[in-house]
Amino acid sequence: MKDASCRIMRVVLCLVIFVTGIVIGLISSSHIDVNWYYNNNRQNGVVKEESVFVDDSIVVKNCTTVATTATATSIVKCETVDCLSLENLVKPREINHGLNDKELFWRASMVPRIAEYPFKRVNKVAFMFLTRGPLPFLPLWEKFFAGHQEFFSIYVHTLPGFTLNVSPYSVFFGRQIPSQKVSWGDISLADAEKRLLANALLDFSNERFVLISESCIPVYNFQTVYKYITESVHSFVESYDDPSRYGRGRYSRRMGPDIKLRQWRKGSQWFEITRSLAIEIISDYKYYDLFRKYCHPSCYPDEHYIPTYLQIFHPLLNSNRTVTWVDWSLGGPHPASFGRENITEGFIQNIRNNGTECWYNFQRTPICYLFARKFDPSALEPLLNISSKVMGF
């Protein structure tokens, strides 16, 4: 009898252990074992940096091997991102997304109805680089931005397929936006400008927006540029009435009655605008479609759309001038270009203080230009040599 009771107890104990093991296994299988996932996805000793969706709002990503145990089992450290957190909503951590232009503009046009922010907001300036490929003056810009990370953000629009090759420690690292093909003098150039604006608008801290070309340089230090832009009550979009064939001569009467000849304006494409105007521009389809239909090559939409739009709807919010200096004295369709042989302290000083005055916050000022173009890549080395003495950075 005693032996039978012992056998029964052993059977019951085995069943309990068996059932407990099944329960533990089921519970464990309902969660993602990050270590197992990444240990089984290593290639040649390198852990893949992939995103693992834990649920609808939590993502595990950027996993790296931080240690290896005696049994050769890797210990993996991962970053957990809550996609619905306030921080990620107001400042998206990834700018490489799968939105098409229509979806992007819709998302970027959203405006909170509550004026007070539920977080500490520091006004940032979005520097939007429109380039065909490399940024030849990237070292100069990195020097310009150094030490001011809280006050700016960077967005780069290149030709599709081009990858900006920079160090992971560069402020330009990971700042390329999803881009499309751009042709000079075509509506696609204005499309790229709107695409840059929309991507920059996704960050709620961006308050001012500057369009920069690959041949452009700063002529003042960051503190001066930031203060000048953020304290201005106006945007800086060059806008004027050109009665010649290069101005009014590009107007199409088929744009009427929505756009009249007397409202037609011309200006440099290199602009600086406020957040509110940026939202207006990326939200406009009615007037933009008129430019898409009737402003074809020899019309140059990038020189007319934004100046004309602001003239019609927000003339009092614009200074009607640009903050990017350029030399058109040689004539022709392109401005003068400056290389190594042109770069001297006096040359840059003449751009900074060229003897003219302009209006700033309803007062006259000798500081009219914050940036300058058009510079050849050969100008980089001499510019770096004089930047601290002349430009202040």
In this structure, the number of other CB atoms found within 10 A of the CB of residue 22 comes to 9
Residue 99 has pLDDT above 90, yes or no: yes
Closest CA to 73 of 31, 36, 33: 36
What pLDDT, on the 0 to 100 scale, is given for residue 49? 43
Domain boundaries, the chain: 32-84, 97-391
The answer to whether 79 touches 173, Cβ cutoff 8 Å, is no
Query: What's the rounded mean pLDDT across residues 209-232?
Result: 98
What is 97-391's CATH topology? Spore Coat Polysaccharide Biosynthesis Protein SpsA; Chain A (3.90.550)
Q: Are 198 and 179 in contact (CB under 8 A)?
A: no
- Note the pLDDT tens digit of each residue in 179-192: 999 998 899 999 99
**Residues 305-346: pLDDT tens digits?**
999 999 999 999 999 999 999 999 888 778 999 999 999 999
- pLDDT bracket for residue 77 (50, 70, 90): low
The pLDDT-based confidence of 17 (bands split at 50, 70, 90) is low
For residue 54, is pLDDT > 60?
no
The Cα–Cα gap between 378 and 319 comes to: 33
Look at residue 50 in the predicted model and tell me its pLDDT: 46
Which region, left, alpha or beta, applies to residue 200 given φ > 0 means left and ψ of -120 to 50 means alpha?
A: alpha
pLDDT per residue as tens digits for the range 243-271: 999 999 999 999 999 999 999 999 999 99
Dihedral sign, Cα of residue 200, residue 205, residue 208, residue 210: negative
Query: What pLDDT is recorded for position 4?
Result: 55
Local confidence band at 8 (pLDDT 50, 70, 90 cut-offs): low
Tokens representing residue 186 in the block: 């075509």
Residue 257: is the preceding peptide bond cis (ω within 30°)? yes
| pLDDT band (50, 70, 90) for residue 53 | very low
Query: What stretches of the chain show up as alpha helix (H) in DSSP?
Result: 2-29, 34-39, 86-90, 101-108, 138-145, 187-201, 222-230, 275-283, 286-294, 305-313, 345-352, 380-386
Tens-digit pLDDT profile for residues 262-306: 999 999 999 999 999 999 999 999 999 999 999 988 899 999 999
Instruction: Please determine, for residue 32, whether its predicted confidence score (pLDDT) is greater than 70.
Output: no
